Chain A
Amino acid sequence: MTQPLSTLKGFGVTFKQILKKPITQQYPEYKRPVYPRFRGRHRLWKHENGLEKCVGCSLCAAACPADCIRVVAAENTPDNRVSAGERYARIYEINMSRCIFCGYCELACPFDAITLGNEFEISEYNRDDQIYTKDMLLAEPIKQVPVADRDLFDTPIPFYRSDS
């Protein structure tokens, strides 16, 4: 009421927005590249000679704040050699419905056997399907998630960009 002219100016501002392109990213069609150090679905790794890196020490399970990792270790025998160490993980399960993706398991692991990947589309219709077994964690991820160029982020330039 007091400033009719500036109110009219406001109408001009809102009208101008109609001519601009919306900034919404259309998610299922366009997947925004994730941050290189994004913490997504876990991976278990193997050595180049095919032996598993995990030695069943349960340090990841101990570090897990959500208590979602279950490790049952067994001894390696000469005719059944699974991991590079003395023991191996006979059962390695991660309950993804409990995991908070904090990455402490990754930090706790002395052999870099477990890392957090980039995949984030891990919804399921059934809670039982959220329990990831060792075979699932060892396999290559089925879905590939676009990842942003590491050089853009791990350099001293500011991590925020005007166009992101």
Chain B
Amino acid sequence: MREPWWIAIVEAVVIVNLVMVTFAYLTWLERKGLGRIQLRYGPNRAGPFGLLQPIADLVKLVRKEAFAPSSAIDAPYILAPVIALFTALAAFSVIPWGPGWHIYHWDVQGEVVNVPIALILVFALGSLGIYGFIVGGWASESKFSLLGSMRTCAQLVSYEVSLALSVLGVVLLGRSLSLVDIVHRQGELLPFAAPQFVGMLVFFFAGIAETSRAPFDLPEADTELVAGYHTEYSGMRWGLFQTAEYVNLITLSGLMVTLFFAGWHGPWHLGPLWFVLKLLALLFVFIWVRATLPRLRYDQLMRFGWKVLLPVATVNAVITALVVAAT
């Protein structure tokens, strides 16, 4: 029997909530991991091992007064964090996390929707998410917020080019834009991390910059510039921006697992467990990078994006195309 329409909705609700839980405990994992790397304990007061810390943070953020500058342009000011979070969450809907199951007498897919152009959809949603950041900074009617949002956008837009170019090799090898097909092809052949190692590295670096994390965390730059586009935000509105950033990171890690590490494929047919394990390992690498590398200067960031990543991604795509055409 074909999948009825409401299964996708149920699946979407489950996925959104799982991603939000992952986000909550990603903040815990990040603080704990960073703490241990810096010979600290990290959060350990709220519950055993500080496990209730994300809940305490949420309660604190929701209860906090959400003030707005009196000159802020209301509708875009309030909508900006919503857009940022929505696009971040929506991008996860096309990422396959299982082979699909036969439950009762319905076929349930391993992803919310199987879009033939899933990869383009993910990048389109990512570009839309940038609007959240630029509109938020602009609608705050503050010069510094505006400058911060310009800084953020310049970074995100320039690294998006390399990010999109780096997956071209995967698309050529997978012969599809659908993430489901790409995962299946990796299950038949081998994880694309091996033939597309350069592409994977470019995707990883550009991904760090896209999610604005250390060492490319200039949009926030908490040690010297303190904050950028979200200077005038407080309470849960600020929390939504922060959530969007972390959910973007989860989505990007999910995408990287899907594109380069064969998604849910793996020995012993563990299905979604493989996806989760790969995702967690990748998230740990992101935290590890943050704990190790110092922040880049802005000119270094731009130079690295345009003069290193972009040519490497282009050459990688061209060579992959030639090899695929030759075989």
The reply to whether A1 and B37 form a contact with Cβ atoms under 8 Å apart is: no
Residues of A1-55 contacting chain B, CB below 8 A: 1, 7, 10-11, 13-15, 17-18, 20-24, 26
Interface SS of B by simple majority = helix
Across the interface, which residues of A come within 8 angstroms of B39, CB to CB? 17, 20-24
Task: Evaluate contact between B38 and A1: CB separation under 8 angstroms.
Answer: no
Question: How many A-B contacts are there with CB distance less than 8 Å?
Answer: 35
Contact of B37 among A7, A17, A24, A26 (CB under 8 A): A17
Residues of B8-23 whose CB lies within 8 A of A: none
Verify if B49 is at the interface (C-beta below 8 Å from A): no
Chain A's interface size range is 10 to 19
The answer to whether A24 touches B308 (Cβ under 8 A) is: no
In the complex, A15 Cα to B37 Cα: how many Å? Answer: 7
Docked Cα-Cα span, A134 to B291, in Å, equals 53
Least distance between A4 CB and chain B CB atoms (Å):
11
The answer to whether B33 touches A18, judged by C-beta atoms less than 8 angstroms apart, is yes
State in angstroms the CA–CA spacing of A13 and B38 once bound together: 11
- Whether A22 pairs with B37 at a CB distance below 8 angstroms is no
Given A22-B36, A22-B39, A22-B40, are A14 and B291 also a contact pair (CB < 8 Å)?
yes
> Whole-angstrom distance between the alpha carbons of A128 and B8 in the complex?
64
A163: min CB distance to chain B, Å: 14
Query: Which residues of B (270-327) have their CB < 8 Å from a CB of A?
Result: 288-289, 291-293, 304, 308
Q: Quick one: which of B38, B40, B292 has the most chain A CB within 10 A? A: B292
Instruction: Specify which of B35, B289, B304, B308 is in contact with A22 (CB 8 Å cutoff).
Output: B35
Contact between A24 and B40, CB atoms less than 8 A apart: yes
* Those of B30-88 within 8 Å (CB) of chain A: 33, 35-41, 44
- A7-B293, A13-B292, A17-B38 given; 4 more Cβ-contact pairs under 8 Å: A11-B289, A15-B288, A18-B33, A20-B39
Chain A to chain B contacts (Cβ below 8 Å), 20 pairs: A1-B308, A7-B293, A10-B293, A11-B288, A11-B289, A11-B292, A14-B37, A14-B288, A14-B291, A14-B292, A17-B38, A17-B39, A18-B33, A18-B36, A18-B37, A20-B39, A21-B39, A22-B35, A22-B40, A23-B39
Q: Which residues of B contact A (CB under 8 A)?
A: 33, 35-41, 44, 288-289, 291-293, 304, 308
